[in-house]
Amino acid sequence: MSFGDEAVPQEEPVFSEAEAADEENDAELAEEVQEAGQADPLEVLARERDEYLLALQRTQADFENYRKRIARQQEEQSARASQNLVEKLLPVLDALDLAENHLRESLDVGEGAKALHASRAMLMDILAREGLERVDQAEVPFDPSVHDAVARTEGGECGPGGETMVEDVMRSGYRWKGQVLRPAMVRVRG
Q: pLDDT tens for residues 56-67?
A: 999 999 999 999
Phi, psi dihedral angles at 90 (to 5 degrees)? -60, -45
CATH code assigned at 168: 2.30.22.10
With respect to residue 188, please indicate whether it lies within any of the assigned structural domains: yes
28, pLDDT greater than 70: no
- Number of folded domains that form the chain: 1
With respect to residue 60, please indicate whether it lies within any of the assigned structural domains: no
With respect to residue 89, please indicate whether it lies within any of the assigned structural domains: no
Cβ neighbors of 107 (< 8 A, separation 6 or more) are none
* Structural domain of 190: 132-190
Ranking 67-81, 112-126, 149-163 by mean pLDDT, the lowest is: 149-163
With respect to residue 147, please indicate whether it lies within any of the assigned structural domains: yes
pLDDT of residue 1: 47
Which letter, b or e, does each residue of 42-66 get, where b requires 16 or more Cβ atoms within 10 Å of its Cβ? eeeeeeeeeeeeeeeeeeeeeeeee
